[in-house]
Amino acid sequence: MRKLYFFDTTLRDGEQSLGITLNVREKLDIAKQIVRLGVDILEAGFPASSPGDFESVKIIAKEVKGAVICGLTRCVAKDIDLCAEALHEAEYPRIHTGIAVSPIHMEKKLRLSPQQVIDRAVEAVKHAKSYMNDVEFYAEDASRSEKDFLAKILTRVIEAGATVVNIPDTVGYATPWEFGELITYVKNNVKDIDRVKVSVHCHNDLGMATANSLAGIKAGADQVEGTINGIGERAGNTSLEEVMMALYTQKQNYGIDLNIRTKEIAAASRLVSLITGVPVPNHKAIVGANAFMHASGIHQDGVLKETQTYEIIDPEIIGVPRSQIVLSARSGRHALKYRLNELGYEVQDSELEKVYENFLLLADKKQEVYDEDLHALMGVAMSEQNQFKIKNISVATSGTQSAMATITLEFEDKEVKDAAIGNGPVDAVFKAIDRITGSQAKLEDYSLKSVSRGTEAQGNATVKIASGTKSCIGKGISTDIIYASAKAYLDAVSKLNA
Query: How many angstroms from the chain centroid is the CA of residue 427?
Result: 30
CA distance 257 to 44: 25
Closer residue to Zn ion (CB): 203 or 337? 203
Closer residue to Zn ion (CB): 230 or 277? 230
Part in contact with Zn ion (CB under 5 A); list of ranges 9-17, 267-275, 333-341, 458-466: 9-17
Angle between helices 265-276 and 240-249 (to 10 degrees): 170
Closer residue to Zn ion (CB): 13 or 53? 13
Part in contact with Zn ion (CB under 5 A); list of ranges 7-15, 209-217, 279-287, 333-341: 7-15
Residue 101 CA: distances (Å) to CA of 22, 66, 291: 31, 33, 39
Q: What minimum distance in Å lies between the beta carbon of 5 and Zn ion? A: 17
Burial label, 253 (beta-carbon count in 10 A; 0-12, 13-18, 19+): exposed
Residue 347, amino acid? V
Part in contact with Zn ion (CB under 5 A); list of ranges 13-21, 263-271, 358-366, 439-447: 13-21
Closer residue to Zn ion (CB): 13 or 264? 13
Closer residue to Zn ion (CB): 13 or 141? 13
Closer residue to Zn ion (CB): 12 or 27? 12
Q: Interface with Zn ion includes 136 (CB under 5 A)?
A: no
Part in contact with Zn ion (CB under 5 A); list of ranges 11-19, 85-93, 105-113, 365-373: 11-19
Query: How many angstroms from the chain centroid is the CA of residue 346?
Result: 21
Q: What minimum distance in Å lies between the beta carbon of 177 and Zn ion? A: 21
Pairing, β 164-169 against β 442-450: unpaired
State the Cα torsion 206-208-209-210 to the nearest 10°.
160
Cβ atoms within 10 Å, residue 474 = 25
Part in contact with Zn ion (CB under 5 A); list of ranges 5-13, 17-25, 44-52, 342-350: 5-13
Contacts 24+ apart (CB under 8 A), 333-338: none
Q: Which residues contact 309 (CB under 8 A, 6 or more apart)?
A: 299, 302, 303
Closer residue to Zn ion (CB): 200 or 477? 200
Query: How many angstroms from the chain centroid is the CA of residue 327?
Result: 30
Q: What minimum distance in Å lies between the beta carbon of 392 and Zn ion? A: 47
Between 287 and 316, how does the x/- string for binding to Zn ion read (CB under 5 A)? ------------------------------
Q: What minimum distance in Å lies between the beta carbon of 165 and Zn ion? A: 15
Query: How many angstroms from the chain centroid is the CA of residue 295?
Result: 29
Contacting residue, 8, 13, 79, 371, with Zn ion by CB under 5 A: 13
Angle between helices 333-342 and 349-366 (to 10 degrees): 100
Q: Which residues are at the interface with Zn ion (CB under 5 A)?
A: 13
